[in-house]
Amino acid sequence: MTISEHRPTIRRVVHPDVPGPLGPPPTPLQRLAHSIRIRHVNLHPVDLATYAIPAILSAPSSADLLAPTTLIAILTVLSGMHIVSMTTALAHRDTTDDPTLSDAVYDLRPRNIRRQIAITSTLVAGLATYLSAITTHWDILPLTLIMVCLGAHHATQPPHRPRLPILIATRFWLPMLLIARAAPYGPEWTILPAIACIGLCQTGILLARTRSTTIATVLAGLCGALASTATLAGW
């Protein structure tokens, strides 16, 4: 079976279920574990450490980091990442190198995962609308929609050919910008170079760890590391 024959597309996400391995119904605890698995919750510590950097750099005090709008923005971003992760698991359920992920998809049933995506999408849209209204930063809503839609579309593409601009934007730049814009104290626009540099650095590390060690990846990582170091040192 060639890669082209297995190439995941958006049709594997929205079309009726494709027959797959079926076993005994999972227990409630197994369903919970599978739901956590397809959301890649294990990546949250690293994600939070990255997304919080712009807010930390621009916060007047440590107490401002716990402002309600900042916490809601973090929840919005993480929920958006859940949508992307679930879309990835659904689109690549038969081609993934991780058998536990494929088992999780088929144990939960693809149709149920689509329902989870729809529910989470509604939650994200509601949170983004609330943040836009309470902060009067109405760019938060389109930023959130772009982050989720582009991320979900990228998730359906062949994993061996990542589109770097979309990956960097949806995985790092937009989440960091969204959290910074939701902060009650309002970020300075000079935070943008830091967001750009940190995104490049993290993308280089991410792709190097997933065997996509191309020249572009190495350059992105090196340039991002040097630029982010210089940027942070000047703050």
- For residue 104, is it within any domain? yes
The structural domain count of the chain equals 1
- For residue 154, is it within any domain? yes
- For residue 44, is it within any domain? yes
CA distance 9 to 200: 27
> How confident is the model over 157-182, as pLDDT tens digits?
876 566 777 888 888 889 998 988 88
- For residue 227, is it within any domain? no
**Full-model pTM:** 0.78
CA distance 197 to 213: 19
Of the candidates 162, 232, 160, 159, which has an alpha carbon nearest to the alpha carbon of residue 196? 232
Task: Tell me which long-range contacts 8-15 makes (C-beta under 8 A, separation of at least 24).
Answer: 8/91, 8/92, 8/95, 8/156, 8/157, 8/158, 9/91, 9/156, 10/91, 10/153, 10/156, 12/90, 12/91, 12/93, 12/156, 13/87, 13/90, 13/91, 13/114, 13/156, 14/114
All residues at 6 or more sequence positions from 101 whose CB lies less than 8 Å from its CB, including other chains: 37, 38, 89, 93
CA distance 192 to 189: 6
- For residue 156, is it within any domain? yes
Tokens of 228: 């982010």
CA distance 92 to 9: 9
> How confident is the model over 32-71, as pLDDT tens digits?
998 999 998 888 888 888 888 877 877 777 777 788 888 8
At 150, the amino acid letter reads L
DSSP 3-state assignment of 205?
helix
- For residue 4, is it within any domain? no
Domain region containing 132 = 27-187
> How confident is the model over 117-167, as pLDDT tens digits?
999 999 999 999 999 999 999 999 999 999 999 999 888 887 656 677 788
Contact in structure between 43 and 49 (CB atoms under 8 Å): no
Tokens of 193: 């170079």
CA distance 227 to 17: 46
> How confident is the model over 182-201, as pLDDT tens digits?
877 766 677 787 788 778 77
- For residue 105, is it within any domain? yes
- For residue 234, is it within any domain? no
